[in-house]
């Protein structure tokens, strides 16, 4: 009976409840009730405020057991499966705690390795989370750990750096769209001019010019539309789910 109970509480990467997929404001997967609902609500509020200010996506996963799986491998695989963080930005962070192993890990995306270096994450685990975990105060431990991380991300210099990188990326995509449109228009004008000279038929030039303008306008609308949609839907809008970020497997690990 004991063996069955342990097995029943073990999770694989595929069976961890992906709560954010159902509710875009739920960043905590806590299927075994390791922390209280009140603590979970508070953590969700902290993460939501941080995401609204920085666009960073944070997932907190608290599990009784993952069986014999290695914590680091499990964290990396779960991060990858969920795609925590914005695509191309890779600005996601996973906090995974496994109770029966008495260990936890922070796993950042590529884009957060500068803002959240391993030494800082290790210090948060060691100084803020572990002492409270040893006291059995799981609510305070997890809440404080996530709060410390979010305080760093919300620091004006770090927040501005994150947002500046995002703005630069968006501006780069906009300029690429503009260059494509002008190239497209130039091609159609050239074709129209050649046909006009060869056939002395101004109607062909006007028709092709109109077609070129219409297609270019459609390309502009499609390009800008995709940019607007991507911005509004990142982080789980319209039904939830993270945005496709990646991790290099860095971060920090600790136990209590």
- C-alpha separations of 24 from 18, 33, 67, 85 in Å: 11, 20, 29, 13
Q: What is the pLDDT of residue 209?
A: 46
Are 149 and 190 found together in one domain? no
Q: What is the pLDDT of residue 5?
A: 47
Q: How many alpha carbons fall within 13 Å on the CB side of residue 127?
A: 8
Q: What is the pLDDT of residue 229?
A: 31
Closest alpha carbon to 214 in 206, 202, 225, 226: 206
* Structural domain boundaries enclosing 213: 163-233
- Asked if the structure places residue 243 within a domain, the reply is no
Are 138 and 169 found together in one domain? no
Are 58 and 148 found together in one domain? yes
- Asked if the structure places residue 101 within a domain, the reply is yes
Q: Exposure pattern of 143-174 as b/e (b: 16+ CB <10 Å)? A: bbbbbbbbebbbeeebbeebeeebeeeeeebe
Q: What is the pLDDT of residue 199?
A: 61
Helix (H, G, I), strand (E, B) or coil at 145: helix
Are 149 and 167 found together in one domain? no
- Asked if the structure places residue 186 within a domain, the reply is yes
- Asked if the structure places residue 54 within a domain, the reply is yes
State the pTM of this model.
Answer: 0.71
Q: What is the pLDDT of residue 187?
A: 65
Could you read off the pLDDT tens digit of each residue along the chain, which spans 256 residues?
Answer: 455 444 457 999 999 999 999 999 999 999 999 999 999 999 999 999 999 999 999 999 999 999 999 999 999 999 999 999 998 899 999 999 999 999 999 999 999 999 999 999 999 999 999 999 999 999 999 999 999 999 999 999 897 888 775 544 444 444 444 445 556 566 657 576 766 666 655 555 444 444 344 434 444 444 334 333 333 333 334 458 998 999 998 999 999 9
Q: What is the pLDDT of residue 9?
A: 73
Are 188 and 111 found together in one domain? no
Tokens at 17, concatenated = 């409840």
Are 127 and 178 found together in one domain? no
Are 192 and 129 found together in one domain? no
Number of domains in the chain: 2
Closest alpha carbon to 50 in 134, 126, 149: 149
Are 126 and 182 found together in one domain? no
CATH of the domain at 143: 3.10.310.50
Q: What is the pLDDT of residue 69?
A: 97
- Asked if the structure places residue 17 within a domain, the reply is yes
């Amino acid at each position: 009976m004991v063996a069955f109970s342990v097995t029943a509480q073990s999770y694989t990467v595929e069976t961890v409840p992906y709560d954010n997929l159902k509710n875009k404001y739920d960043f905590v997967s806590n299927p075994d009730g390791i922390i209280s609902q009140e603590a979970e609500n508070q953590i969700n509020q902290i993460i939501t405020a941080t995401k609204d200010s920085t666009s960073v996506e944070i997932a907190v996963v608290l599990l009784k057991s993952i069986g014999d799986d290695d914590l680091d491998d499990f964290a990396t695989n779960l991060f990858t499966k969920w795609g925590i963080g914005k695509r191309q930005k890779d600005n996601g962070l996973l906090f995974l705690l496994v109770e029966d192993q008495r260990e936890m890990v922070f796993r950042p995306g590529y884009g957060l390795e500068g803002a959240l270096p391993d030494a800082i994450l290790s210090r948060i685990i060691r100084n803020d989370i572990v002492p409270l975990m040893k006291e059995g105060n799981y609510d305070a431990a997890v809440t404080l750990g996530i709060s410390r991380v979010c305080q760093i991300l919300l620091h004006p210099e770090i927040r501005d750096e994150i947002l500046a990188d995002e703005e630069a990326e968006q501006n780069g995509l906009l300029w690429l769209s503009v260059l494509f449109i002008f190239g497209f228009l130039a091609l159609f004008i050239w074709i129209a001019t050649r046909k006009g000279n060869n056939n002395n038929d101004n109607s062909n030039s006007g028709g092709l010019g109109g077609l070129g303008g219409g297609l270019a306008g459609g390309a502009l609308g499609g390009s800008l539309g995709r940019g607007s949609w991507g911005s509004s839907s990142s982080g789980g809008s319209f039904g939830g789910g993270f945005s496709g970020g990646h991790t290099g497997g860095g971060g920090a690990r600790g136990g209590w």
